[in-house]
Chains A and B, each alone.
Chain A
Amino acid sequence: MDTQGPLSEQGLVRMLTHTGERIEDERFAPYAADLDAATLRAMWHDMTVLRGFDLEATSLQRQGELGLWVPSLGQEAAQIGSGYALRTSDFVFPSYREHGVALTRGVDLPEILRIFRGLQHGAWDPAAHGFHLYTLVIGSHALHATGYAMAMDRDGLVGTGAETDGAVVCYFGDGATSQGDVNEALVFAAVNDAPIVFFVQNNQFAISEPTTRQSRVPLAQRGAGFGVPSVRFDGNDVLASYAVTRWALEQARSGTGPVLLEAFTYRMGAHTTSDDATRYRTRADEEYWAERDPIARVEAYLRGIGELSDEAIEEAHAEAKALGRRTREAVKSWSPPPTSTIFDHVYAEPHTAVESERAWFARFERSFTDKGAHA
């Protein structure tokens, strides 16, 4: 077992053991103090529904309804816990696996699948949800997030103590920490005291490469070199995820500058539906982490304190099932708009190359029905 490296448990903040016992963490307990059983149950509920949706999306891909799916399986606690710590005044820059954060930002989950059905590249209004579009090039969005945070600071939305104070949370993975853009983002955020939380979900794999191919030390240690305070926590512990993120957001919103968080978690599924994880990891490893399932842990805790009934569990599973059905029906009902729409929104103002090709394509299409129109 690694005791020092990027896959070790070194310095992890944990508030729930994997069997569901509460651990008191002196530093972060105050940030979970307001969390009543009802809210924690709501988190568990969202994690459960998210997983149902995620499994349905995988099935839809297998049945040929989606070109690709990127499962969030196993990362529900990292995503839902941190998502619950956000306010409407905050703004999120996700990578492409943050379906759980999308849920907490009010994105209707089936809508995400428009991207994976190949209908469009962005499927929601970022401003309406405080949730930017997914970014597929690894780490590129860390700079956009930093610039956005610098602009929030300029706009007087930081450090006033009012509810309107906000911060940016930028999600990326362990692989992204090797990207130049992520390192440049840390530099720009640090020297500008930008109100941003860099949220690394270390799910231990960048497709097939373990985190040991990205770093020789735990990723949270990277922060020190940039002068950015960092915390490493158990990413499968929804309580820790909520409390640590809430702390980080309060730091960032107060104007003291960026924070780096590392949620140490495990990608229970493959990288995508095109990946085969059996080629690079063992059954034993998967079983070890199955015992640390983020949903089972909070479920055990809630049951242990008498706050989760069998009926509530049944209801949540029924809801997940209903969402699965609604998702399936929605996906199958979507047909592509006319091809001519591919010429829309290349530029905000007309551009002759696009307009002449749009006109040519319209004539070409008409030529199949209206002889002689094709010039």
Chain B
Amino acid sequence: MTAMTMAGAINRGMRAAMERDPKVLLMGEDIGQLGGVFRVTDGLWKDFGPDRVMDTPLAESGIVGTAIGMAMRGYRPVIEIQFDGFIFPAFDQITTQLAKMHYRSRGLINLPVVIRVPFAGHIGAVEHHSESPEALFAHTPGLRIVSPATPQDAYDMIQQAIASPDPYLFFEPKARYWDKAEVDEARVATQLSGEHGASAATAELSRGRVAREGKDVTLVAYGPTVRLAMQVADVAASEGRSIEVVDLRSISPLDSATVVRSAKRTGRVVIVHEAPTAFGTGAELAARVMEQAFFHLHAPVLRVGGFSTPYPGSKFEHDYLPNLDRVLDAVDRVMTH
């Protein structure tokens, strides 16, 4: 076990992937000598050189589009999009090209491209630097979408995504980059060196986890809101309420089975994410819980998330984003329904 921040865990995970497979290369803006604006690629340019840690022209569509061409020749590009709000110039390449090539080639072409996106808020940033666009991509078949909440998951999941034959959007909760925890480096290395390592990795990446067991309310979160959900569970416990926290980890596929299993036990579900609730991950999950656990529910499924406004100035983000009070309020409402 080694103590790592989440940023450090992603850095070490990419290093391990690059050492394991010479076809893995990094592409992005300022990821070379500078080490990325969040320093997630720190030191990799020095050790692997500019051919494997490529500072690209400042054009997101160009980065994703050329990565597709390189992947067609067997490379495994790992792209850094500098900030969530800068991904949209690449939206066409991601949703129209990257997502569909395997399908339109009837399985002849695999595109193992990973797009890392530092996302979500709580860093006091200017406009376009705090967004949560995951649902826009989850609506597109052909993409896999994951988001780690802990350094251990960050370390494992980045390597699993790189090893998987499918394209990934890898949403990194940037406000959690500096969270520190002990990380076991051996387990994922063993998994990926196994005969069907990539399949096992993809299957594991598709599953959520129960982060804390409880019996009164199922609180579902992913990425940046998992820590908040754990805090809510602590506070609720002091008020005599037992909260089960599910960390989804994957948004596409969405591990609704884990949530439904929990919902059947607790009968109450609250979903928390930073993205606007309208047409979001929570809406999809609420529909599935209703379809599969309707007669077990004691209260309507509630969502807590961003409002239907553009991301406001950072002085307002603590109210715009789900916070302890707003989530506790939702817990109260499902308990007293």
Contact = CB atoms under 8 A, between A and B. Distances in A.
* Interface-centre pick from A126, A127, A351 (highest chain B CB count, 10 A): A351
B73 A146 contact: no
Contact of A121 (B57, B104, B107): B104
A146 B61 contact: no
A151 B69 contact: yes
Contacts of A122: 104-106, 108
B88 to A, nearest CB: 12
Interface string A62-81: 00000000000000000000
Contacts of A127: 108
B69 A180 contact: no
B80 to A, nearest CB: 16
Interface stretch (B211-219, B247-255, B294-302): B247-255
Interface string A122-133: 100111000011
Contact of B70 (A133, A135, A148): A148
A345 interface: yes
A188 interface: yes
A184 interface: yes
Contacts of A155: 73
Interface in A131-152: 132-133, 135, 137, 140, 142-152
B67 A147 contact: yes
A259 to B, nearest CB: 17
B102 A181 contact: no
A184 B56 CA distance: 11
Interface string A18-35: 000000000000000000
A125 B108 contact: yes
Interface string A249-262: 00000000000000
Contacts of A191: 57
B70 A345 contact: no
A140 B89 CA distance: 12
B165 interface: yes
B212 to A, nearest CB: 24
A3 B257 CA distance: 68
A151 B165 CA distance: 18
A235 B61 CA distance: 30
Contacts, number: 140
Contact of A184 (B51, B59, B108, B166): B59
A280 interface: no
Contact of A144 (B69, B164, B166): B69
Given A188-B62, A348-B165, A144 B254 contact: no
Contacts of A345: 102-103, 105-107
B38 interface: no
B142 A346 contact: yes
A268 interface: no
Nearest to A143: B65
B199 interface: yes
Contact of B164 (A135, A137, A187, A349): A349
A140 B69 contact: no
B141 interface: yes
Nearest to A149: B69
A150 B69 contact: yes
A151 B104 CA distance: 22
Given A151-B72, A181-B61, A346 B103 contact: yes
B255 A352 contact: yes
A185 B106 contact: no
A209 to B, nearest CB: 20
Given A191-B57, A349-B164, A143 B142 contact: no
* Interface-centre pick from B62, B107, B110 (highest chain A CB count, 10 A): B62
B274 to A, nearest CB: 23
A288 interface: no
Contacts of A181: 61-62, 65, 92-93
Contacts of B71: 147
A354 interface: yes
A351 B65 contact: no
B107 A344 contact: yes
A125 B70 CA distance: 18
B191 interface: no
Given A154-B51, A352-B255, A144 B106 contact: no
15 contacts: A122-B104, A126-B105, A144-B65, A151-B74, A181-B62, A181-B92, A184-B59, A344-B107, A345-B103, A345-B107, A348-B165, A348-B166, A352-B253, A352-B254, A353-B253
Nearest 10 pairs of A and B residues by beta carbon: A147-B69, A143-B65, A147-B66, A184-B62, A151-B73, A148-B69, A121-B104, A348-B165, A345-B107, A349-B202
